[in-house]
Structure 1
Amino acid sequence: MTQYPPYPQSSQPPYQQPQQSGNLSYGNLPPQDRESLGSWVLVTFIMFIPLVNVIYMLVLAFGSGTSIAKRNFARASLIWMAVGIVLSIVMFMLLAAMGASFFNEISNTYGLLAF
């Protein structure tokens, strides 16, 4: 019978729930996950500024030192921005084709323009 090496034991202490005494306690959270309301207000404010929001979302999504929540929020926002841009381009092309077709039909029907 084959002898396997023993399973390595973790040196970390077991997880304990932080004691809350009426106020919010960040307890055992790492420093980058201790976010304040003000940091989220800043993120939503920057989202209203054109072009700056894209740059800021790229920094949050792919930079280091940001919390997991903000990183996931930035990645989701970038995905929705890309979807919006693609849909806007498709709609522009459809409306341009419809406008050209309408203009061509009007010019052929009423003979306004002679090519």
Structure 2
Amino acid sequence: MDDEPLKDWAERRDAKIGRLRAVPVVSGDTPGDGPRGAHLRPDAPRVIERWNGYAWEPHAFTANLAETKAILYPTATATATSEPPPAGSKPKPLGSGTGKHRKPPAPR
């Protein structure tokens, strides 16, 4: 078995420090009521946890999925709220070609 040098392992571990994750706050009273896909309960509160190199520690608390995404993906929300294209711009027309996604030419 090939052993990885300790220096390489430490660099990989340190690169993950500061990573964030969201964990939904749900009650565990009913079987099957644990954490699920984020899209299933978008209004459920969530805890944002931060990796410190050894364990996940609480970092923030959000009220819903929209707030959570704003914290976890700040660049995605910035581009989603950017200005729409100018009113005079036209979409690019399809180029010529015979790819699978193209309709065959109509018979004459």
TM range (shorter): 0.3 to 0.5
TM (normalized to structure 1)?
0.31
Q: Which has the higher contact order (CA 8 A, sep 6+)?
A: 2
Greater percentage in strand: 2
TM (normalized to structure 2)?
0.32
Greater percentage in helix: 1
Rg (Cα) greater in structure: 1
